[in-house]
Structure 1
Amino acid sequence: MELIAIKTKIQTQFFLYYLFLSVIPLLALSYYSYYNIKTNTQQDLVNTISFDMRQSQSSLDNLYTRFQKYTDILSNSTTFYNAVISTSNDMKNGKIQQAKYSGAINLDPQIKSLFATDDVISAAMVVIDGRVVYSYKDFVSIMNNFKDNPIIVNTKNTPNMHWFSNQSSPFGLFDGNYTIITKNIYDIIGNNPTESICQFVILINQQKITDLLNDHLRFADSIIRVIDENGNMIAGNDSVPQTSEEHFNKIIQQMPSDQNSTHTKYIDNYLVLQSFSATSNWHIVQLSPAKHVTKASSSIIFFTIFLIAGLLIIMFLFSFFISKEIILPIKRLAHAMKKVGEKNIKIEIVQHSKNEIGEIISGFNQMVKRIDNLFTLTIEIEGKKRKSEIDMLKYQINPHFLYNTINSIRFSAMNHKDEITATMLVTLSRLLRNTLSHTSHVIQWGEEIQNIKDYIILQQLRYDNQLNVAYNIGENTQYLFVPHMILQPIVENSIMHGLNQKLNSGDFASVIISSYLKDNHIHIISVYDNGVGIADSIMENILEHNSTIVSDSLQIGLVNIHKRIRLQYGEPYGIELESAAGEYSNVKIILPVLKNIEDELPISFEHIENYS
C-alpha cells in the first residue's frame, strides 16, 4: 500500500507541475505570438542563412590563408631553399637522375611534414624550369616537361597566388576535376627577391571544395558560387545549364557593388546573399529559394498546435509508467551495488529500460564484468610472470657455456694468426653477452645502438665493408628505454632482403638508423635503406599474420615486433612501413617515451577485453 501511495503521489505531482509549468503557458504564448511569429521566423531564417554563408566564406578564407602560409613557410625555409638550389644545379649540369634523387630525398621530408595533417590536398609538385623535381602523393616523372603547359606558362614569374578551378585531367596525369593553385617561390634567402627559384603547384579535388560549401548550406537546393576579382568562378555547388547562366548573371548584376558589407535581397523568387572577402578578394553569392522562408513560419504554427495536443497525451501516459521506468530500476540498482560491496562480482541486473537509467544499469553491468576480467587477468599475468622468471633462471646457464666456447675458438684463431676470424668472434661474443644475458624486457636506447653496431661489424666483415651505415640519433633519445632486441631484426631485414643484391654486385648500399621524438611523447625509430623496396601488393598484407605472399623470414621479424609492441603498449604504437619498389624502404618503430626502466603504460579495459 505504501508503494502504491508513493506512485500515486509522484504521478499526480508530475502531472500538475507539467500542466501549469508547460502546457498552459504554451497555450497562452501561442495565442499571443500568432500574429508576430511569421515576421520573426522569416527574419531569423534570413539571419541563419546569412550566418551559414559567412561560415562558407570563413572556411574558404581559412583554406586560402592556409595555402598562403604553406608557400610562406617554404619561401623562408633554408632547408627548402638549399634543396631547390641543389636540384636546379643538377638539372643545369644535365644530371637529371641525380636531380630526381635529390628532390625526393631532400624535399620529401619537409613537404610531407608540412602537409602531415592536411587531408584536403590531393597532390603537390615542385617545378623548376618546367620540370617536376618532386611530387607529393602522386608520382610524376622528372622527365615530364611542362614548359608549354598553359598553367605553368601563365603563372611563371608572377608574385601572386593563382587559382584555376574545374581543371579536367590537369597535366594529363590526374583523373577527374581539380582546382590547381600555383605560387612562385622567390630567392629571398639568396638576396635576389626578384628571381623565382621554383613554382609550387597544389592540386585539390574539386569535389572537396564543393563539399566544403555544401557543409554550410541550410537547404539542398540552394546555389552558391565563389567568384574572383576577374569574374572567374573559383568554386560552386551547382551545375547551372547554359540557358540559365544569363539569369544567374542578371541576378548578380542587381546586387549592390559595395564590398564593405553583406547584402541581402529578394530577386525573382530567390533570397540572394552576397558577401566580399577582404582576405582573398573573392565574393560569394548564394541563392536560396524564397519558398523555404515562407514555409518555415507556417510550419512552426502547425507544429505548435500538434505539440500541445501531443504533450497532453504523453503526459497522461507518462504519469502511469513513471514508477515502472524510474523507481523500480533504481531500487534494483541499489540492491546490486550492495551485493558488489559484499564482494559478489558475479551479479548482473536484467535491463528493461532504454532511457538514462537503462544506460546506468548497462554501465554498471559492464563495470562489474570488467572488474571480474581484471581480477582474472591479474592472476594470469602473475602466473606468466613467475613462469618467465623461472625460465630465465633456467636458461642463464646455456649462454655461459656458449661464451666460453666462442672464447676458446677465438684463442685458436689468434694462435693461427687469423685476425679477421678472431675479431668476428670477439664481436659475436660481446653481442651475445649483451643480448642473451639481458634480464629485463627493456634496454636503454644507447645500449641497443651499441649492440646493433656490433651486429653491423659482423655484416661488414661478411660483405667486405661494402655496407654503408649512418646514425642520426637525437640526443634527447640516448637515455630512453626501448624493448630489448627490437632493432636487430629490422636491420637484418634491410640487409638480407633490401640490400643483398647491391651488396653482392658492389653497388652503393646504405642503411640510415634514426631516432627522434614527436610531440615529446612519441619515440620514433627509423631504419631506412636504399634497397629493392617492397611491392605495393606486399605492403598491404605484410603485417598480417595470415600473409602468404611474403617470405617467412621478412614477415616473421616485422610481425613479431609489431605484435610485441601492440600487446605491451597498445595502439597507436607499433610498426609503420614506407616503401617505393626498386628505390627504398623505411621501417618506423613507434614507441611511447620510456624514461625509466619501470615505466609502463596502464592496461586499458580494451586490452582486458582482448585477453578475456
Structure 2
Amino acid sequence: MGRSVILDREGHVLFSDMGDDGLRDYFEERLGRFTPGSFTRRAALSEGGERDYFFRTRTIPDSDWSVVTFVEESSLGQQFYQVGGILALIVAALLTLFYFYSRYFLNAIIHPVQEVCRGMERLDQNDLEVQLEPKGQRELQDLMTSFNQMVLSIKHMLHLTEETMEKKHQAEIQALQSQINPHFIVNTLNSIRFMAQVARFDGIRKMAEALVSIVSCSFRSNVSFYTVREELEMLKTYVYLMRIRYSNGFEVSYNVQPDCLDYMVPRLTLQPVVENSITHGFDEMTEELGKIEVSVYREEEFLCLSVWDNGRGMSQREIALVQKGRSREKNDNTSIGLENVQARIRLNFGGAAGLTLDSEPGRYTRATLRLPLAACTKKEEERDDSDPDCR
C-alpha cells in the first residue's frame, strides 16, 4: 500500500523499494524539500503519471539519513470506503439489535406496566370486575397477580360491608317498629273495661276485634310493607278505637286517589302521624271539634301521604326538633312518633324521601310524607304475604 525512499543528508536517493530511476530523478529535482517533518501532496511519478500522493519524512536515529514514506491518495480513499462500509454494517447490526431489544423491552416491561395502569384507572372508576392477565417479567407478573388479589379483596370487603349495613339497616327498622308505647294498649283496654262495667253491648266486641287487629299487625316483623289500601284499613281501625277513647272529640276524612291504593308503603306509616295530631294537636281544644284529613296522591315522581289537622299547631322550634330527629318533650309517649317515622322512611328510601311539616300555631298542622314512586311499586306476588288478620 505505501512505499518508502531513503535519502541522505543532501536529499539524494540512497534506496527505494520501487527500483525505478524515475523516482530518483523526482527526488533529486526536489533536493531540500523533503526535510524531517515535511509534507507534500502532489507528485508525478514515472510509474503512473500525475497522481495524488501523501508524503511523510522521518529522520533515522543516529544518522543523517531520512526516510520518506508516500501513499497514493486513491488507495487511502479505497481503504476509507472499506472501513466506512464495515462501520455502516456494524451500525446497522447494532440498530437491528436495538430494535429487537426495544420490542422485547416493550413487551416485557412497558406493556405490562401500561396494563397495570389501565387496570388501576378502571378500579378508580369503581369497576370491581377488572382482572389482569399476568405477563412480562416475573416481578411484573407478581405485581399483576397482587393487583388481582387486591381487587378481589376489595370486592369481598365491600360485599361484607353491604351485608353488615343491610343487617344493621334491618335491625334499626325492626327496633324502630318495635317502639310501640304500651300506653296505647293500656288505655284502650281500660276503655273496654269501663264500657264493660257500664253495660254490655256490641261496641265491646268491635273494640276488641279492632284491638286484636292492630296489635297483631304491630308486632308482625316479617312484613315490612303494606299496600296503601291495607295501611288505610289499619288506620281506620286505629281511628275507631281513638274516637271511642276521646268520646268522638274529633273526626277524620279521607281523600285518596284510587290509582294510589296499590302502591307499597312501610307499614304503620300513617298511624303515628294521625296519633300525633290527636294527642298533640287536640290536647288544648275544649269546644271546637277536632278535624283530621288524610290525603294520598301522586305528585310528579312521588307518592305523597298527607295528614292535616286543625289543632293547636307547632312552632318553628318544634318543627326543627322533629326534622332533626329529636323529641319535642323528654317524656313524649306518642306511639312511634314523627321522629321514628322520618327515620324509617330514610332508612327504606334514602335521602330522596322525607317528612315535611307545615304549621301555623293555633290554626293547623300538615305533615306530608314524600316517597319515590319507583321504590313504592312492587310485583303483585310480593303483596300476597300480608297477614289476613291485618285487613
Please, what TM-score do these two structures have when normalized by structure 2? 0.51
Distance in 1, matches of 2:156 and 2:381, equals 26
| Structure 1 residue 466, shift from structure 2 partner | 2.0
- Give 1 or 2 for the bigger CA radius of gyration: 2
The SS at the match of 1:532 is: coil
Which residue is equivalent to 1:417? 200
3-state SS, counterpart of residue 490 of structure 1: helix
Q: Distance in 1 between matches of 2:308 and 2:371?
A: 17
The answer for the alignment partner of 1:571 in structure 2 is 351
* Structure of greater relative contact order (alpha carbons < 8 Å, 6+ residues apart): 2
Q: 1:514 aligns with which of 291, 295, 301?
A: 295
The AA in structure 2 aligned to 1:497 is H
RMSD: 4.6
Q: Distance in 1 between matches of 2:353 and 2:151?
A: 26
SS at match of 1:590: strand
Q: Secondary structure at the match of 1:582?
A: coil
Residue 493 of structure 1 is matched in structure 2 by 276
Q: Which residue of 1 aligns with 2:257?
A: 474
User: Residue by residue, what CA displacement relative to the aligned partner does 1:420-474 show, whole Å, maximum 9, x if unpaired?
Assistant: 4443223212322344347310011111101111111111112221212110011
Give the aligned residue type for 2:238.
Y
| Aligned counterpart for 1:332 among listed residues 113, 116, 121 | 116
Alpha-carbon shift at residue 478 of structure 1 (Å): 1.1
Residue type of the alignment partner of 2:114: I
Q: Size of the alignment, in residue pairs?
A: 245
Distance 1:461 1:450 in 2: 17
Which residue matches 1:59? Answer: none
- The C-alpha deviation readout for 1:154-186, integer Å capped at 9, x for no partner, is xxxxxxxxxxxxxxxxxxxxxxxxxxxxxxxxx
Contact 2:276/2:334 (<8 A) preserved: yes
Determine the C-alpha separation between the residues in 2 that align with 1:540 and 1:512.
23
Q: Deviations over 1:328-379 (max 9, x none)?
A: 9734324657995279xxxxxxxxxxxxxxxxxxxx9x99897455411343
Q: Distance in 1 between matches of 2:169 and 2:352?
A: 25
- Match of 2:215, as an amino acid? L
Secondary structure of 1:501's counterpart equals: coil
1:529 Cα deviation after fit: 0.6
Q: Quick check: 1:491–1:527 contact (8 Å CA) kept in 2?
A: yes
- Please, which of 332, 340, 362 is the counterpart of residue 582 of structure 1? 362
Q: Deviations over 1:464-488 (max 9, x none)?
A: 2121211001111111111011111
1:455 and 1:592 map into 2 onto residues whose CA distance is 26
Q: Distance in 2 between matches of 1:555 and 1:451?
A: 15
Structure 1 equivalent of residue 58 of structure 2:
none
Distance in 2 (alpha carbons) for counterparts of 1:549 and 1:433? 29
Hey, what does 1:375 align to over in structure 2?
159
Structure 2 CA distance for aligned equivalents of residues 339 and 479 of structure 1: 38
Percent identity, please.
Answer: 25
Aligned equivalents of 1:460, 1:517: Cα separation in 2: 29
Deviation at 1:592, TM superposition (A): 2.2
Structure 1 match to 2:320: 540
**2:206 partner SS:** helix
Counterpart-to-counterpart distance in 1, 2:328 and 2:101: 69
Match of 2:131 among 341, 350, 354: 341
Distance 1:379 1:462, change over 3 A: closer
Cα distance in 1 for partners of 2:208, 2:196 equals 9
| CA distance in structure 2 between the aligned counterparts of 1:501 and 1:508, rounded to whole angstroms | 11
Q: Residue 424 of structure 1: SS of its match in structure 2?
A: helix
Q: Indicate the residue corresponding to 1:309 in structure 2.
A: none
Q: Is the 8 A contact 1:543 1:555 kept in 2?
A: no
Tell me by how many angstroms 1:595 deviates.
Answer: 2.9
